[in-house]
């Protein structure tokens, strides 16, 4: 409360007929009037509603599992009490899942008084995406439509022992075991609400549970995806959204004891840090992760300071071949021990707001590359304009 009021209003307002879905509300030991409001709502709404009252479990996994066990529909959707649905959300998500035969549907999310991931939403709905070539892996929250038969067949539930990241494990397993993923981009299905009091579970707690969740995520990927490019693609996610944040600039202010402990917790994760994963990540992130994997927080500190100063690294080409490198601190410094591959441009690069590109290689006998005809014309026009302006 009071967010629950708008949440339930959005359920009642669904364009999917009320007799086609059920609401299972789990009152997880609330002490703010939530339980009484749920009972009142269930008594008056046209939506078939079951209210379950239980002692506080300490996290979202228990209540979600309780609701999942009671569900009888072909699909389930996990709606947090702080948030609310777009009025056509359920109708659109069910329709695309039925049409495409997919097991998971992502409905477009936007933030209300908070940010929300946006790179996975295109201009149009997608009936089926390839999870090994899609941004959908960068949204692993539980607020999605899941085919219930998939969950029951594989026994996919939320890990009640985990204190953080349990939804990422749940969703990733559904992605990997399911028969496809659909994306609804043309309509906002879900509104993520930022609480005025700032009390979000995902923003609280110490660092240990976050490492625990990351380790569970990489182990799940390793179990379900054979070694190769597909595994590399999936592994890039926990490194760039997870591990790197644990070694942000703030780590420089932490005690030696905490730093050492973080490196110890990172070790089971960085064993999956491979050249195939590294090349999928831009250089400034790759370098930081390489330092973590090598236990070189001294080098990491230099890179953090360089990035904080908003320097633009120089781009240099290899003497032979097409490789190009960004000259960040410790580039080709033998004492640092960082390989050239850690500095190589393998994906589009920006630093800090400028697109970085390798310089054109000169042809034999030329000190500079020959401009194209179009470029020569543009240069001539610019020279003529300058002369004209100076003569006016």
The string of pLDDT tens digits covering residues 257-293 is 999 999 999 999 999 999 999 999 999 999 999 999 9
Residue written as token pair 């479990």: 57
What is the pLDDT at residue 102? 98
The string of pLDDT tens digits covering residues 206-217 is 899 999 999 999
Report in angstroms the alpha-carbon separations of 301 from 250, 285, 304: 10, 13, 5
- Provide the mean pLDDT of the chain: 91
Residue written as token pair 């008084």: 113
Q: Which of left, alpha, beta for 164 (phi over 0: left; psi -120 to 50: alpha)?
A: beta
What is the pLDDT at residue 368? 52
Residue 259: how many other CB atoms lie within 10 Å: 16
Residues 31-49 have a mean pLDDT of: 95
User: Which neighbouring-strand residues pair with 193?
Assistant: 112
Residue with the bigger pLDDT between 375 and 327: it is: 327
Distance (Å, rounded) from C-alpha 107 to C-alpha 191?
Answer: 10
Residue 65: how many other CB atoms lie within 10 Å: 17
Distance (Å, rounded) from C-alpha 336 to C-alpha 45?
Answer: 66
pTM: 0.87
The string of pLDDT tens digits covering residues 83-116 is 999 999 999 999 999 999 999 999 999 999 888 8
What is the pLDDT at residue 319? 87
Length of the chain: 392
Could you confirm whether 167 is annotated as catalytic? yes
What is the pLDDT at residue 118? 84
End-to-end CA distance of the chain: give it in Å, rounded.
Answer: 71
What is the pLDDT at residue 232? 98
Distance (Å, rounded) from C-alpha 131 to C-alpha 106?
Answer: 12
Residue 255 has pLDDT above 90, yes or no: yes
What is the pLDDT at residue 363? 59
The string of pLDDT tens digits covering residues 125-147 is 999 999 999 999 999 999 999 99
Residue 32 has pLDDT above 80, yes or no: yes
Q: Among 199-208, 233-242, 258-267, 292-301, which is the least confidently predicted range?
A: 199-208
What is the pLDDT at residue 383? 66
Q: pLDDT band for position 117 (50/70/90)?
A: confident
What is the pLDDT at residue 86? 98
Q: Among 2-6, 29-33, 42-46, 385-389, which is the least confidently predicted range?
A: 385-389
The string of pLDDT tens digits covering residues 330-371 is 999 999 999 999 999 999 998 887 899 877 766 555 555 555
From 83, 167, 197, 232, the catalytic residue? 167
Are 159 and 169 in contact by the 8 Å Cβ rule? The answer is yes
Residue 386 has pLDDT above 70, yes or no: no
What percentage of residues in the chain have a pLDDT greater than 90?
80
What is the pLDDT at residue 146? 98
Q: Among 29-33, 36-40, 299-303, 333-337, which is the least confidently predicted range?
A: 29-33
Residues 305-317 have a mean pLDDT of: 94
Residue 236 has pLDDT above 90, yes or no: yes
């Amino acid at each position: 409360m009071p967010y629950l009021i708008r949440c339930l209003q959005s359920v009642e307002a669904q364009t999917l007929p009320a007799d086609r879905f059920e609401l299972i509300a789990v009152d997880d030991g609330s002490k703010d009037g939530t339980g009484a409001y749920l009972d009142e709502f269930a008594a008056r709404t046209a939506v078939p509603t079951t209210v379950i009252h239980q002692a506080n479990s300490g996290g979202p996994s228990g209540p979600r599992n309780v609701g999942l066990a009671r569900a009888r529909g072909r699909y389930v959707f996990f709606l947090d009490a702080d948030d609310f649905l777009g009025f056509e959300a359920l109708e659109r998500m069910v329709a695309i899942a039925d049409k495409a035969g997919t097991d998971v549907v992502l409905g477009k999310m936007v933030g209300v008084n908070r940010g929300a991931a946006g790179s996975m939403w295109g201009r149009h709905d997608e009936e089926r995406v390839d999870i090994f070539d899609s941004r959908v892996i960068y949204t692993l929250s539980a607020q999605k439509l899941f085919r219930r038969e998939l969950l029951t067949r594989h026994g996919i539930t939320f890990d009640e022992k985990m204190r953080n990241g349990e939804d990422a494990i749940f969703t990733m397993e559904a992605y990997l075991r399911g028969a496809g993923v659909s994306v609804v981009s043309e309509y906002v299905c879900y509104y993520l609400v930022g609480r005025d009091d700032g009390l979000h579970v995902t923003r609280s707690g110490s660092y240990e549970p976050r490492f625990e969740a990351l380790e569970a995520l990489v182990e799940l990927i390793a179990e379900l995806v054979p070694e190769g490019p597909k595994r590399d693609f999936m592994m890039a996610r926990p490194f760039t959204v997870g591990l790197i944040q644990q070694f942000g600039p703030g780590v420089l202010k932490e005690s030696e004891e905490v730093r050492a402990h973080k490196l110890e917790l990172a070790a089971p994760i960085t064993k999956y840090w491979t050249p195939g994963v590294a090349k999928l990540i831009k250089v400034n992130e790759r370098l930081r992760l390489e330092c973590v994997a090598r236990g070189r927080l001294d080098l990491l500190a230099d890179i953090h300071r360089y990035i904080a100063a908003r320097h633009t690294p120089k781009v240099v080409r290899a003497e032979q071949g097409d490789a190009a490198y960004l000259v960040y601190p410790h580039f080709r410094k033998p004492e640092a021990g960082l390989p050239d591959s850690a500095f190589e441009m393998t994906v589009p690069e920006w630093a800090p707001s400028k697109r970085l590109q390798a310089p054109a290689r000169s042809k034999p006998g030329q000190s500079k590359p020959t401009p194209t005809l179009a470029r020569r014309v543009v240069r001539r026009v610019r020279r003529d304009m300058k002369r004209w302006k100076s003569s006016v």
